[in-house]
């Protein structure tokens, strides 16, 4: 049955149905509604044996989750933007210790200048932190990915960050299908890790590793991430079987199977791109979109298979590396090498700037592209005024 | 009676450390320096807690010497479940562990968090205060050696007046750590109104053990700061570690007290008061206060701190 609820609430319901034992909350826009709703549910006794802990910072939020997960219970927290940066030391620590924490990242840009709106700069800051990173396209997928995330995390032995576009998804009311608790229980078995803080089997966790072992530790972590490609794919298939809908996985292809132009993107912008592609293809165009759901690990083989026959690849992303350009673009370009077609990078939707169908249509149908990297909708008048002020 | 072993003929008075069958929570063979006060304090604290709880303890450790010298992979010197996460988050990690055991229905388990003064009074202060104000069920033990020893003896907010560290190195124009700086974390802990706060030293093992046992049986947030000399950082002889821990109390620079629910509940009186000079002189970190060019006024500055403690805590007067 479809429920007309806010994205944040859909996520909270999904997390609650996964029966976490510890939920840590610290406010930062735009993820806050998720933990607010979870607090309400925990305090009402709707989540069994669960502690809801209001902490004093994001550093503490993830650190509490590290302590509880290491003590053998399913743990969850959520953050955004500056909050992710503030907890970054613990982000690396959680993955280094192979703790399968699930965290929602309500995607928001990073200041200065201060800006609370959506883009993917925060996620990109954590791209090398050793977490699995999944991007949701819709509120339904955000809900579904959280249920899958706990299973993936616990199977792989690695934390999962579920990236959900701030405001565009977190604050949007959409019809979502809430699965039954029984179905979630059948899909996600109880969490019983072999290694935890346990007096019957005392062990030391978080030891110091010197140069003679460090490379091996990191290499094994890399292999686990490579192996996660299979687990993420498998989990999406199991999910589809159990819940009767496609969600998650590694990548999704939509549009003309023999497209000349393939757009690559992540997150909620996919919906807008699909609409534009539908229009263009109806008018005789040959367009498609490749959605990357799993950004970490990056499914290089799947990306290559989907793009290698395209005449033009356009990577559309909501983040970029100052002084270099698109981040996802670099990774996709590297995955495609050698690529004989045209390769374009589009930076769009930074700091909450709307990505409209008009802007996309204009860009996708341009005759030629003078620049390899384009800032979509860049207002040159404003640039001129600001540069004169500097 | 010995401050270390107690009365061996009276089992009730005997220190846990004096027992042949102590658990050795921190076992021998670790890589601490000779005369390390922190290693001694950690073993005493955890053995006492282990003994008092029948072994139902888990330990969360902040980054620092104690973590580094005990767990160089694949060696592990801990005889208890032990977790190290980061430098500044041990109180929060311990909060998570306590919440997890409660959620598992394991209400007998006790969580101990431990760290040095840098990890506790500086970088860990935010998480520590959070753990205190929520009254999370954690006993936090700070092994105070008055500087960042693991990184090479830099100043912390626990470094004493006019002390030499690598970042407060005395020169002609500068006499060492600013006497007006620093903070009293036991008092900050008390201001949170938590059930138990205590100071202790490794110069009086039985007093320290008693405080640990008292704290481990309580619930909620508890804080013990134990003065733990560092021969390497202080330029003191390894054989003087325990002696310095006694002299610091006798001169009034380190008041020993307990506080319950924000109020002082006991103070250890000084039996044979000594001038601070007797405590400072054996340590190279204060050597610049002595030499032939030294200004006697500087010793007076430190003596004033001790005198203020003696007055504030009534360390020499009757009850």
Task: Give the domain CATH number at A297.
Answer: 3.40.50.920
Task: Please state whether A266 falls in left (phi above 0), alpha (psi between -120 and 50) or beta.
Answer: beta
Name which of B68, B92, B95 to mutate to probe chain A: the one with the most chain A Cβ atoms within 10 A of its Cβ. Answer: B92
Distance CA A239, CA B53 (A): 45
**C-beta separation of B79 from B26 below 8 A:** yes
Is residue A213 less than 8 Å (CB to CB) from chain B?
yes
Kindly list the distances between the CA atom of residue A291 and the CA atoms of A253, A294, A360, in Å, as whole numbers in the listed order.
6, 9, 16
- Of residues A200 and B21, more confidence is placed in A200
| CA pair distance B305, B315, nearest whole angstrom | 13
> In this structure, are A270 and A165 located in the same domain?
no
Backbone angles phi and psi of A257, in degrees to 5:
-65, -20
* pLDDT band at residue B10 under the 50/70/90 scheme: confident
Same domain, A35 and A112: yes
Element (H, E) at A7: helix A7-17
Interval A229-248 mean pLDDT: 98
Residues of chain A neighbouring B127 (CB-CB closer than 8 A): 56-57, 59-60, 63
Say whether both A222 and A369 belong to one domain. no
Å from A199 to nearest chain B CA? 6
How many Å apart are CA B120 and CA B113, to the nearest integer? 10
Q: Which of A222, A243, A264 is the last residue of a domain?
A: A243
Task: Say yes or no: A230 and A276 in one domain.
Answer: no
- CA gap A136, A125 in Å, rounded: 18
Cβ distance of B126 and A57 shorter than 8 Å: yes
Band (pLDDT 50/70/90 cuts) for residue B14 is: confident
Are A75 and A112 part of one and the same domain? Answer: yes
Residue-wise burial string across A69-105, b where 16 or more C-beta atoms lie within 10 A, e elsewhere:
bbbbbbbbbbbbbbbbbbbbbbbbbbbbbbbbbbbbb
Residues of A in contact with B84 (CB under 8 A): 204-207
Out of A66, A73, A198, name the one closest to residue B81 (CB): A198
- Looking at A216, A243, A270, which one is the last position of a domain? A243
Q: With contacts defined as CB-CB under 8 Å, which chain A residues touch B93?
A: 63-64, 66-67, 70
Domain that holds residue A359: 252-389
pLDDT of residue B2: 63
User: Are residues A330 and A381 located together in one domain of the fold?
Assistant: yes
Check whether residue A52 and residue A16 sit in a common domain.
yes
A39-80 pLDDT, tens per residue? 999 999 999 999 999 999 999 999 999 999 999 999 999 999
Q: Counting beta carbons within 10 angstroms of the beta carbon of residue B248, is it exposed (0 to 12), middle (13 to 18) or buried (19 or more)?
A: buried
Helix (H, G, I), strand (E, B) or coil at B148: strand
Q: Is the dihedral of CA B126, B132, B135, B137 positive or negative?
A: positive
CATH of the domain at A65: 3.40.50.970
ipTM: 0.96
CA pseudo-torsion sign B212, B213, B216, B217: negative
The pLDDT tens digits for A318-370 are 999 999 999 999 999 999 999 999 999 999 999 999 999 999 999 999 999 99
Q: Which of A182, A212, A243 is the last residue of a domain?
A: A243
Q: Tell me, yes or no, whether A191 and A271 share the same domain.
A: no
Domain assignments of chain B as residue spans, ordered by start = 11-312
Contact of A153 with A160, CB cutoff 8 Å: yes
- Statement to judge: residues A196 and A311 lie in one domain: no
Res A157 pLDDT > 60: yes
How many structural domains comprise chain A? 2
Strands B57-61 and A325-326: unpaired
The label of the residue with tokens 């939707």 reads A349
Fold (CATH) for B11-312:
Rossmann fold (3.40.50)
């Amino acid at each position: 049955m479809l429920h007309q609820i806010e994205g944040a609430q859909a996520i909270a319901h999904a997390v609650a149905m996964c029966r976490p034992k510890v939920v840590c909350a610290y406010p930062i826009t735009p993820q806050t509604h998720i933990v607010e709703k979870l607090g309400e549910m925990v305090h009402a006794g709707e989540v069994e044996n669960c502690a809801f802990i209001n902490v004093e910072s994001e550093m503490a939020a993830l650190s509490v989750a590290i302590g509880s997960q290491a003590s053998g219970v399913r743990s969850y927290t959520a953050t955004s933007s500056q909050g992710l940066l503030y907890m970054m030391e613990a982000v690396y620590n959680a993955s280094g210790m192979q703790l399968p924490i699930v965290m929602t990242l309500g995607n928001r840009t990073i200041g200065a200048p201060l800006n609370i709106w959506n883009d993917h700069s925060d996620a990109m800051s954590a791209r090398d932190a050793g977490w699995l990173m999944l991007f949701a396209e819709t509120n339904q997928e955000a809900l579904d990915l959280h249920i899958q995330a706990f299973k993936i995390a616990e199977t792989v032995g690695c934390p999962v960050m579920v990236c959900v576009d701030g405001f565009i998804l977190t604050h949007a009311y959409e019809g979502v299908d809430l699965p039954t608790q029984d179905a979630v229980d059948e899909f996600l078995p109880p969490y019983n890790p072999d290694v935890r803080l346990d007096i019957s089997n005392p062990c030391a966790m978080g030891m110091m590793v010197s140069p003679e072992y460090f490379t091996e530790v990191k290499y094994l972590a890399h292999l686990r991430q490579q192996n996660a490609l299979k687990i993420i794919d498998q989990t999406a298939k199991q999910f589809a079987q159990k819940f009767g809908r496609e969600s998650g996985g590694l990548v999704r292809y939509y549009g003309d199977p023999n497209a000349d132009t393939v757009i690559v993107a992540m997150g909620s912008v996919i919906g807008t791109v699909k609409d534009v592609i539908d229009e263009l293809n109806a008018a005789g165009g040959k367009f498609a979109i490749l959605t990357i759901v799993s950004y970490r690990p990056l499914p290089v083989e799947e990306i290559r298979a989907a793009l290698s026959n395209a005449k033009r690849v356009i990577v559309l992303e909501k983040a970029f590396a100052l002084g270099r350009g698109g981040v996802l673009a670099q990774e996709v370009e590297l995955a495609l090498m050698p690529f004989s077609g045209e390769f374009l990078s589009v930076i769009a939707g930074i700091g909450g700037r709307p990505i409209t169908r008009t802007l996309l249509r204009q860009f996708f149908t341009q005759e030629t592209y003078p620049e390899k990297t384009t800032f979509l909708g860049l207002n040159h008048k404003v640039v001129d005024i600001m540069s004169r002020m500097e | 009676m010995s401050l270390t072993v107690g009365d061996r003929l009276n089992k009730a008075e005997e220190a846990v450390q004096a027992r042949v069958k102590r658990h050795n929570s921190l076992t021998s063979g670790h890589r601490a320096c000779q005369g390390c006060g922190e290693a001694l304090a950690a073993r005493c604290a955890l053995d006492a807690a282990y003994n008092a709880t029948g072994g139902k303890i888990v330990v969360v450790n902040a980054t620092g010497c104690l973590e580094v010298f005990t767990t160089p992979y694949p060696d592990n010197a801990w005889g208890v479940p032990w977790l190290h996460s980061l430098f500044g988050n041990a109180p929060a990690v311990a909060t998570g562990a306590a919440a997890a055991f409660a959620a598992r229905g394991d209400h007998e388990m006790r969580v101990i968090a431990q760290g040095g003064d840098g990890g506790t009074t500086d970088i860990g202060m935010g998480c520590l205060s959070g753990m205190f104000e929520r009254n999370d069920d954690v006993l936090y033990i700070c092994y105070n050696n008055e500087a960042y020893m693991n990184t090479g003896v830099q100043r912390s907010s626990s470094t004493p007046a006019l002390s030499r560290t690598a970042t407060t190195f005395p020169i002609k124009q500068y006499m060492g750590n600013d006497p007006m700086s620093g903070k009293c974390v036991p008092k900050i802990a008390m201001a949170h109104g938590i059930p138990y706060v205590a100071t202790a030293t490794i110069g009086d093992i039985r007093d320290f053990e008693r405080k640990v046992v008292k704290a481990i049986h309580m619930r909620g947030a508890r804080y013990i700061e134990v003065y733990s000399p560092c021969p390497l950082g202080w330029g003191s002889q390894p054989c003087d570690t325990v002696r310095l821990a006694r002299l610091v109390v006798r001169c009034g620079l380190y008041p020993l007290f307990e506080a319950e629910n924000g109020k002082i509940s006991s103070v250890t009186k000084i039996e044979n008061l000594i001038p601070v000079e007797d405590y400072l002189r054996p340590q190279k970190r204060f050597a610049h206060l002595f030499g032939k060019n030294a200004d006697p006024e500087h010793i007076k500055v430190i003596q004033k701190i001790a005198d203020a403690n003696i007055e504030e805590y009534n360390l020499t007067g009757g009850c």
